[in-house]
Structure 1
Amino acid sequence: MDDINYSLYLVTGRDLLPPGKDYFQSLEESLQGGVSVVQIREKKADTAEFLDIARRSKAVCDKYNVPILINDRVDVAIAINARGVHLGQTDMSIATARSLLPEGAIIGVSCNNENHVRAAIQDGVDYVGIGAVWGTQTKQLTSPVIGVRGVGKMLEILDGTEVKAVAIGGIKTTNLLRTLHGCVSTTDHALDGVAVVSDIVASKEPRVVAEKFTKILEAFRAINFGLLVAPRSVPSKDQILASVNDLINTVRKTGPLVHQITNTVVATQSANITLALGASPIMATEPQEMGDLSRICGALLVNIGTMRSDGKESMTLAGYHANMNKKPVVFDPVGVGASAFRKETVKDLLNTWQASVIKGNAGELASIAGSTEVASKGVDSVGSGFSDPSSFVRALAKKERCVVVLTGPVDYISDGVWVAALRNGHEILRKFTGSGCIVGSSIATYCAAAVAVGRDTENTDGRLVYGDMFIGAIAGVLVLTVAAEIAAKREDVKGPGTFLPALIDELWVLTPSDVLSMARIDIC
């Protein structure tokens, strides 16, 4: 029976040891730090040396009751009575290995695509090693890096089986949270563990590094790192609006700092909108500042509207540090379908850090989802939109494990469980540059407030769970669209040029009661 704890799966590599570090000392310290299973990999050793290393490694592992697996060599596994073997796609067949190994031995296999996983299930393996998830220097890759977001479909294939899954390839303490949160299928099938090589083996203090891995793994399982908390039952309009009311008041009371890496064309008006809401904007783009800013800001907005290759570093670092400090990340993939450069940039960013909210028009979100139902022209959508926008946003939110906001004549917002359809706004919003960008600023502002409220308030009064990005996103869209309706009716508004100043003014004086009385929202 497969009773292995795959949580922290160490793959050895003696060539990675730091100068002066003994291999067996490093292995024992790793076990003391929480390594739960060890795979001995010796690609250059002859059989006699491999056997010696494996026997002595097993003696160390036995002290801590940690099972040992052997990479490739079934004969070595049998000779030392290892718990099992790990095989590559070009190694001995699963059937042959099973016939040679003792009953109950564990067999794992490396998988780089969905066909590999299907074959592994058919062959009766005990676990699959899925990767490479990240680029790695520990081995020459013969298959493409699949990325965090590429793991989900492979995990979904494992539904209904007892086959375990371990992610492998370039996993470090610095990307572990992203790996754990992103490597989940739309059916909520998660990883059973992560395989680590260089981050532990190459360390002078492997116990410390292993302990850090263990703490992150335990914290993720305890709190589910994602900032998204889906309501357990269908939320009512009154519940949502009561929580929106709280967020409006919280922004005015606390003035959260909202870090915005945004479209240079609209940076000034985005900053002014943020101020009018009652928050404080900081429009910083220097890579060296990202770590410090993530500790003091309430939320991060990343908008790729005027994307440059030299700006990608800032976006990457900002999102990474925001994740590490558990701050909401609102992502606006402006014009993502317009060029291969934008598509590749968005893919890299979403594989590197976890968005809390992805906001876009139909063309932009279709590009992210890989849908051909809606096309785009530059930053604009082309056509009539999705035939079933509610189903689309729900599916994309579940796939990306975040809240998705689809903007348009009707704004659709989903957390992967529920969908809110918001019918406020005015057509003049689409007649000036950056109207979509300021929606991102507003959402980021209220997501910051949602987290701030969540730290201090118990959910005991019938309202939705605080810290919910679903409510933060709804508040951000509602406040802006309600204010737009009010501003458009003013006598001094003659067109887009006079509308924007009026919108800023109306946001400044907008009251929660205005929003509550004018909100047109449906939940399904």
Structure 2
Amino acid sequence: MVDIDYSVYLVTGRELVPPGKTYADSLEEALQGGVTVVQVREKTADTGEFISIAAQTKTICQKYYVPLIINDRIDVALAVGADGVHLGQEDMPIAQARQLLPSGAIIGVSCNTREQVEEAVKAGADYVGIGAVYGTQTKSLTSPIIGVRGVGVRLEGLEGTGVKAVAIGGIKSENLWRTLHGSVSRNGRALDGVAVVSEIVASNEPKAAAEKLSKVFKAFQWEQLRAAQVQSTTISAHDVLGDVANLVHKIRNVGPLVHQITNHVVATQSANVTLAVGASPIMATEPAEMEDLAKICGGLLVNIGTMVASGVEGARLAGYYANKYRKPIVFDPVGIGASNFRKENVKGLLDLWQASVIKGNAGELAAFAGTTEVLSKGVDSVGSGFKDPVSFVRGLARKERCVIVLTGATDYISNGTNVVAISNGDPILGKITGSGCILGSCIASFCAAALHGTEVDFEESRLVDDAVFIGAITGTLVLTVASEFAVKKRQVGGPGTFLSGLIDTLWTLSAGDVRSHARIQIY
């Protein structure tokens, strides 16, 4: 059997074809745009009509050398000589379908759980359709929505096999990038394709719709290849500190606007710190203005420290639009281990959008990663931290496909390849409320500055790229070096006066100060 390209997998739905366009015209335009597999799904047609539509579809698909899959009906597949069938969990077993179909026929199976994926592999499926990823109006759902992060768990059941995987359920061009980034197993197993219905079928321009999906998927594949190639790339402390110094200069010149949805306990000092480092803050939570803000801001900070149910929608939309307009997102899952409310909302947010940086202390990141190696009490860590923080942050960065910042006595920052350990910072930082929160503001400010003036396109840059990595390192260094300077000021007598001294120091801190006082180690 030839190797099948599952990247843009079209599931038909004749009822969705817009007025003025025929099913055949829509299908052919979609194939011209880059559809690589077509599945005919006819839930209400009688057998004769189903066969007629399938035969028409096959004729068009053959012109473009695209395989034809029939949903559910093996008899229809045999009648028209289709390339294969797609079976649901309640349909005919794979073994029986193999006996009826010709040798080399493609068989796919819908799977909602990892156990179903593993069973499909054992039964000899060629590919699995995993979902539903999002809610959909094109099909009544009988199984739970699993979200993009749930897809990665199910992909683990395919590791070491040649079985392909296609995600399905509510996938559109606007959420495709997040779907592909989030749907990756812990060991890097990614999707082989995405199944779409309304995005193409309901479009007045199905060719353009298919081209857009294909463009994003190819960019993701290129990124996967690039990521594999740079796994062994190393960086030097000299080069990192040079980039840091340049960024400290740059932020003063460009003054990026940084949107912050943050802990209201520290909103004022977060805004003041943002101003002190050279950026400009806007503290806004109203859902109705999130798209407008994403267009004008250089970056976004989402901090769940004092999140309430009514504020979740603002964070959802802010992240969604930041991804849409390719702005860096710094996510701070403050106190995630404290309640199921926080855990569930973090899951919901990261199922919707891709973070560029995730920062937290050992307890928070342990809870986020699902490990009990480090416990937390409220927003604080309990214990001495991770036994191997370097491996932890590198592994979590690869899994989450973003930069990870682990804060503590030593801060560890990784992009999934390199880890930078920063030993700066005075212990008094831990004695003021929200020192972690203001670090998030610093990081968001420098990430925004790092990407200021660049046009970020799918083919040209990753959400996890060198600029964001340097932005996270710079934000951490600037705050921790400033704390060492501030505590030595004559007017600083304790935590209260330290905070004002810290803001003053951030205002005057130079690139040379940061570079000469930085204590970093690279792994």
TM-score by length of 1: 0.93
TM-superposition CA deviations, 1:190-226 (whole Å, max 9, x none):
2111100122223344333223322333343445699
Structure-2 separation of matches of 1:471 and 1:240: 7
Compare 147-156 and 310-319 and name the one that shifted more.
Answer: 147-156
Q: Is the 8 A contact 1:450 1:467 kept in 2?
A: no
Deviation at 1:162, TM superposition (A): 2.2
1:421 aligned to 2:421?
A: yes
TM-superposition CA deviations, 1:420-462 (whole Å, max 9, x none):
2211111111112111110001111111222237669xxxxxx
Q: Is the 8 A contact 2:33 2:207 kept in 1?
A: yes
Amino acid of the residue matched to residue 262 of structure 2? T
Mapping 1:105-254, distance limit 5 Å: 105-222=105-222, 232-254=232-254
Structure-2 separation of matches of 1:320 and 1:229: 29
Mapping 1:250-265, distance limit 5 Å: 250-265=250-265
Query: Could you say which residue in structure 1 is the equivalent of 2:286?
Result: 286
Query: Could you say which residue in structure 2 is the equivalent of 1:392?
Result: 392
Specify the SS of the correspondent of 2:173: coil
Query: Could you say which residue in structure 2 is the equivalent of 1:461?
Result: none
Q: Is the 8 A contact 1:129 1:167 kept in 2?
A: yes
Structure-2 separation of matches of 1:254 and 1:369: 36
1:78 aligned to 2:78?
A: yes
Amino acid of the residue matched to residue 394 of structure 1? R
Query: Could you say which residue in structure 2 is the equivalent of 1:479?
Result: 478
1:513 aligned to 2:519?
A: no
Query: Could you say which residue in structure 1 is the equivalent of 2:378?
Result: 378
Deviation at 1:285, TM superposition (A): 2.0
Structure-2 separation of matches of 1:380 and 1:333: 12
Query: Could you say which residue in structure 1 is the equivalent of 2:338?
Result: 338
Structure-1 separation of matches of 2:306 and 2:330: 17
Structure-1 separation of matches of 2:104 and 2:479: 61
Specify the SS of the correspondent of 1:468: helix
Query: Could you say which residue in structure 2 is the equivalent of 1:459?
Result: none
Structure-2 separation of matches of 1:285 and 1:342: 17
Deviation at 1:479, TM superposition (A): 0.6
Specify the SS of the correspondent of 1:141: coil
Structure-1 separation of matches of 2:92 and 2:445: 56
Structure-1 separation of matches of 2:481 and 2:140: 56
Structure-1 separation of matches of 2:379 and 2:89: 43
Deviation at 1:491, TM superposition (A): 1.6
Specify the SS of the correspondent of 1:307: coil
1:328 aligned to 2:319?
A: no
Query: Could you say which residue in structure 2 is the equivalent of 1:314?
Result: 314
Amino acid of the residue matched to residue 303 of structure 1? N
Q: Is the 8 A contact 1:228 1:468 kept in 2?
A: no
Gaps of 5+ in 2: 457-463
Q: Percent identity?
A: 65
Q: Is the 8 A contact 2:185 2:399 kept in 1?
A: yes
Deviation at 1:391, TM superposition (A): 2.1
Q: Is the 8 A contact 1:257 1:296 kept in 2?
A: yes
Deviation at 1:169, TM superposition (A): 1.0
Q: Is the 8 A contact 1:451 1:466 kept in 2?
A: no
Query: Could you say which residue in structure 2 is the equivalent of 1:367?
Result: 367
Compare 309-318 and 170-179 and name the one that shifted more.
Answer: 309-318
Deviation at 1:92, TM superposition (A): 1.2
Deviation at 1:230, TM superposition (A): 6.1
Compare 61-70 and 202-211 and name the one that shifted more.
Answer: 202-211
Structure-1 separation of matches of 2:517 and 2:445: 21
Compare 437-446 and 56-65 and name the one that shifted more.
Answer: 56-65
Structure-2 separation of matches of 1:55 and 1:479: 66
Q: Is the 8 A contact 2:233 2:417 kept in 1?
A: no
TM-superposition CA deviations, 1:255-291 (whole Å, max 9, x none):
1111111112211111111111111112122222222
Structure-2 separation of matches of 1:269 and 1:243: 27
Amino acid of the residue matched to residue 108 of structure 1? G
Specify the SS of the correspondent of 2:143: coil
Amino acid of the residue matched to residue 110 of structure 1? S
Deviation at 1:382, TM superposition (A): 2.4
Amino acid of the residue matched to residue 516 of structure 1? R
Structure-1 separation of matches of 2:417 and 2:467: 13
Structure-1 separation of matches of 2:203 and 2:453: 40
Structure-1 separation of matches of 2:299 and 2:208: 31
TM-superposition CA deviations, 1:24-72 (whole Å, max 9, x none):
3332332233222110112222222211221122122223332210011
Q: Is the 8 A contact 2:397 2:414 kept in 1?
A: yes
Mapping 1:344-359, distance limit 5 Å: 344-359=344-359
Q: Is the 8 A contact 1:312 1:345 kept in 2?
A: yes
Aligned length: 516
| RMSD, aligned CA | 2.3
Identify if the C-alpha distance between structure 1 residues 128 and 396 changes in structure 2 by more than 3 Å, giving closer, same or farther: same
Query: Could you say which residue in structure 1 is the equivalent of 2:445?
Result: 445
Amino acid of the residue matched to residue 496 of structure 1? P
Identify if the C-alpha distance between structure 1 residues 397 and 104 changes in structure 2 by more than 3 Å, giving closer, same or farther: same
Query: Could you say which residue in structure 1 is the equivalent of 2:487?
Result: 488
Q: Is the 8 A contact 1:258 1:279 kept in 2?
A: yes
Q: Is the 8 A contact 2:187 2:399 kept in 1?
A: no
Amino acid of the residue matched to residue 522 of structure 2? I
Amino acid of the residue matched to residue 421 of structure 1? A
Identify if the C-alpha distance between structure 1 residues 183 and 509 changes in structure 2 by more than 3 Å, giving closer, same or farther: same
Structure-1 separation of matches of 2:226 and 2:346: 19
Amino acid of the residue matched to residue 409 of structure 2? P
TM-superposition CA deviations, 1:105-124 (whole Å, max 9, x none):
11111122222222222222
Q: Is the 8 A contact 1:228 1:469 kept in 2?
A: no
Q: Is the 8 A contact 1:294 1:325 kept in 2?
A: yes
Q: Is the 8 A contact 2:131 2:145 kept in 1?
A: yes
Identify if the C-alpha distance between structure 1 residues 146 and 512 changes in structure 2 by more than 3 Å, giving closer, same or farther: same
